[in-house]
Chains A and B, each alone.
Chain A
Amino acid sequence: GAVVSQHPSWVICKSGTSVKIECRSLDFQATTMFWYRQFPKQSLMLMATSNEGSKATYEQGVEKDKFLINHASLTLSTLTVTSAHPEDSSFYICSYSRGGQETQYFGPGTRLLVL
């Protein structure tokens, strides 16, 4: 069964609004989660690493003030796209790995469309 959930699965919003995406681990306490973004016909790109109880680590070129990450508990990380613009329209996916295992578990993704 699913071990990672994301909500919402899709969202359409107007330009300038903020959108919050939740990522929950269902059967595991995750100290680290990852947020990826995938534009059409492109690869998944790591945006940031979400660390429980501390600041997220952002990849080069990802604006931390635009993509706010909060990992307040071991089972929940949120990504907020602030003042969304059409170029932020993408597929956002979270993932985590269990302890020392290499396998990563991906959420089902959130499709964002900004009009």
Chain B
Amino acid sequence: RKEVEQDPGPFNVPEGATVAFNCTYSNSASQSFFWYRQDCRKEPKLLMSVYSSGNEDGRFTAQLNRASQYISLLIRDSKLSDSATYLCVVNKPGDTGRRALTFGSGTRLQVQP
């Protein structure tokens, strides 16, 4: 079983649509959770951290369910510029202070005009 699993997509949605991505992680000891965005042939960039209480940043809302080991990302009012691959990321439990990350394989989003 992969440590972080995501639906690879692609998700093809029209502009203005709401789209949701889901992710599950296998290691219950994980403590930090993130969504990253990766454009084609570029490095990943942090979109937002994810907290148990849920958090929102503009059109983006992230949720974490520790009991189910499930993470979600909701994008409202999709823009063409949102087209990218969205990576679900958790920290690698282990040494204190270690900041290495485990990445999901990503969900590709294509927003169409």
Contact = CB atoms under 8 A, between A and B. Distances in A.
Interface of A: 32, 34, 36, 41-46, 49, 91, 93, 95-97, 100, 102-104, 106-109, 111
B42 A43 contact: no
A49 B46 contact: no
Interface stretch (B14-22, B70-78, B102-110): B102-110
Contacts, number: 50
Contacts of B41: 91, 111
A44 B32 CA distance: 17
Given A43-B103, A44-B44, A44-B87, 20 more contacts: A32-B98, A32-B99, A34-B100, A36-B103, A41-B105, A43-B104, A44-B103, A46-B92, A46-B101, A49-B98, A91-B41, A95-B101, A96-B99, A102-B91, A102-B99, A106-B43, A107-B43, A109-B42, A109-B43, A111-B41
B102 A46 contact: yes
B106 A43 contact: yes
B43 A49 contact: no
B55 interface: no
Interface string B44-78: 11100100000000000000000000000000000
B4 interface: yes
Contacts of B44: 44, 93, 106
B105 A43 contact: yes
A81 B103 CA distance: 23
Interface string B25-49: 0000000101000000111111001
Contacts of A107: 43
Contacts of B98: 32, 49
A102 B49 contact: yes
21 contacts: A42-B105, A43-B4, A43-B104, A44-B44, A44-B103, A46-B100, A46-B101, A46-B102, A49-B98, A49-B100, A93-B43, A93-B44, A95-B101, A97-B99, A102-B34, A102-B91, A104-B101, A106-B44, A108-B43, A109-B42, A109-B43
